[in-house]
Amino acid sequence: MRRVLTGFRICGFLLLAIYAAHPAARTAPLPSTGLMGTVKSSDGKPLEGVVVSAKAPGSTITTSVYTNQSGEYYFPPLPDGQYRISAQAEGFQLTRVEKAVASGKKIEQDFALPAFKDAWKQLSDAEWFASLPDDTAEDRKMKRILLYNCGTCHNSGFVLEKRFDRAGWEIILSRMVKISGSYDPPDGPDCCGGVNAPNGDEVPGGGKFDKPMLDEEGKPIGAERRVLEFYRKDIIDYLTRVRGPEPFPLKPNAFPRPTGESADIVVTEYDVPTKDGRTFGKLDPKTGHVTQYRLSEDNSTTVRNDNPDYPGNEFRDGSDWSRGLRVNYQENGQHDLAVGKDGYIYFPPGIGIGVDPQGNVWYGDKMAVRFDIETEKLTPYLLPKGWPIFNNGKDVDSKGIFWGAQPNGAYRLDPKTGKFTEFKSKTPNGRPYGLTIDSEDNAWFAQIAVDRVGYVNGRTGEVGEVVLPPIDDEDINAKDREVAHGWSMNEPLYAKGPRRLRGDRTGDTVWVSEYFGGRLAKIDIHTKKLTEYKLPGWYRYAYPYEPVIDKKHMVWFSMGNYDGVGKFNPVTEKFTFYPVPTRGINGRHIDVDDTGDLPVIWLPYDAGGKVARVQFRTNPDH
């Protein structure tokens, strides 16, 4: 059986190589009917890579396409009705019109976009980093310090688009260090388990700090806050210089607009309704309707809601780039999702979700919960009394066994018996974050606080780990290397921060997003060999968050600082990036619908109150 499976894998990679050598056609002829037109600048030049969006009044669905090199665009068939149609690009004003669409008719709508003088208002998070000065080694280092300390719990651009004097930045940093301290140790009340008290002095990897540091109340300062305190003065000095009241020659550095295959996509965005920490959702992609479910307070019954509320704040939803960026906690975002085997898209109330072989959906925090797709009932599986609650990652293996990350490593649940088994990580206090299952039913979990990836052999229960070496190809001095790791919000400059990961269910690899290091890592599940790939150029600042692997072994990944989806071809080692129309999405999860000839990517917006479906008009497997 093993030899046959290996043969299939070899064939899959050969097909991938063939696709790489013979790319599909990049463009398609314009259709004879439907909504279409051209986009030009006000001086008549055609504009490529401009996003054109259409949304019917009262609808929760927005459809967007991008112009080709001739400035032309066309939509897939849309339901009949009145639409608000808009076109926008960085450096140009958002332009909107109202238009009726009727099936079987050719509906033409051209745009002439005026220039927009305040282009800095339209910058994405990663573009703000690209716009910061980097002429000197010190400036380049400061950009990384901001990346490692000022963007994990909110959009980076939300901070960088503001300007304050020194006193203002000192107030902000004072607030930040207190918030950062609430995540010490990794099981503080605001994060990851609710087991220990905050502001402990535990060290990631085990033990306690030799020299205690005390806060204003005389309590020990933990690992998370120590990192930010170390760089606090440097950050205040830097932000006062580049984002202070005095003039500074900061030139907006917008990324090039998408071209070729990056622009040959259709993005459908679905508004998501209001929810709380117990609400589970099911989206019908055909209608955009979301049905919500929740367990009763005593966990005995499932409560269904067919008419959830939608916040619908278009002034803050990222659709108008000129309004700037938001902190993600201002919006009703969706952190995770899963593509169901029944065609629906499922939203967990928190972080982490998995689908079992029967198509049932699993999630959990204080307990494991299964949603039966046939009966539409939620079934809770309570953790043994006194056990720490789940961390973020969850998955289900090929036998229907549920796995979840937890503060000490991983839990395994057999649904037939209700029995939980704990597997403790080799390195303690590693802050297990994401969790995945590989093609041989082994569990893997990312230990973001110690730059390790732990694993549990699904057959024997043996526990091991793969060590990610510290960064050594960027400017880092000896003092920087003396700073201890934080937990997940703040890290020293040598850290890589493995955050979330996915197994290739038909291959021999696990892929890891190195969140702080700006890299993807590949681990061979048999030899444990580690291979790393740096994101190119300014994407170093994109915060790669989670990968997912399609049936042809392409690696797709979400990013916290880039409004779009990344693709990595393991054969050609080429990165490609595909935009989405909303600004400031803070993408933290991703999934792929592999049922068709071409993959369909699903991306939740943690800071945008939407989820997106990305469809490709030409074959992206090259």
pLDDT digits (tens, 9 = 90+) for 365-408: 999 999 999 999 999 999 999 999 998 999 999 999 999 999 99
Is residue 328 predicted with pLDDT exceeding 70? no
Is residue 535 predicted with pLDDT exceeding 60? yes
Residue range 15-35, pLDDT digits in tens: 444 344 434 334 557 788 999
Report residue 125 as tokens: 């998070």
| Amino acid code (one letter) for 366 | K
Contacts by residues 397-400 (CB-CB < 8 Å, ≥ 24 positions apart)? 397/437, 397/441, 397/443, 397/458, 398/357, 398/437, 398/441, 399/357, 399/441, 400/356, 400/357, 400/358
> Do 359 and 396 form a contact (C-beta atoms < 8 A)?
no
CA-to-CA dists, residue 405 to 20, 363, 412, 588, 592, angstroms: 36, 11, 9, 17, 22
Place of tokens 């393991």: 570
Q: What is the pLDDT of residue 13?
A: 43
Is residue 9 predicted with pLDDT exceeding 50? no
- Alpha helices, DSSP H, located in 182-249: 223-242
Report residue 390 as tokens: 């789940």
Write the Ramachandran bin of 516: left for phi over 0, alpha for psi from -120 to 50, otherwise beta: alpha
Residue range 49-77, pLDDT digits in tens: 999 999 999 999 999 999 999 999 999 99
What CA–CA distance (Å, rounded) separates 81 from 233?
57
Q: What is the pLDDT of residue 615?
A: 98
Select the more confidently predicted residue: 84 or 324.
Answer: 84
| Amino acid code (one letter) for 239 | L
3-state secondary structure of 613: strand
> Do 285 and 602 form a contact (C-beta atoms < 8 A)?
no
What CA–CA distance (Å, rounded) separates 37 from 269?
21
Residue range 105-150, pLDDT digits in tens: 999 999 999 999 998 999 999 999 999 998 899 999 999 999 999 9
Report field, pTM of the whole predicted structure over 0.85: yes
Residue 332: which pLDDT band, with cuts at 50, 70 and 90?
confident
Q: What is the pLDDT of residue 269?
A: 98
Q: What is the pLDDT of residue 309?
A: 93
User: Could you give the domains of the chain?
Assistant: 34-114 (2.60.40.1120), 120-242 (no CATH), 279-471+481-616 (2.130.10.10)
Residue 251: which pLDDT band, with cuts at 50, 70 and 90?
confident
Residue range 405-442, pLDDT digits in tens: 999 999 999 999 999 999 999 999 999 999 999 999 99
Q: What is the pLDDT of residue 20?
A: 42
Highest mean pLDDT among 7-21, 302-316, 596-610: 596-610
What CA–CA distance (Å, rounded) separates 223 from 113?
50
Largest pairwise CA distance in the chain: 75
Q: What is the H or E stretch that residue 394 is in?
A: strand 394-396
Q: What is the pLDDT of residue 154?
A: 79
Q: What is the pLDDT of residue 325?
A: 86
Is residue 299 predicted with pLDDT exceeding 90? yes
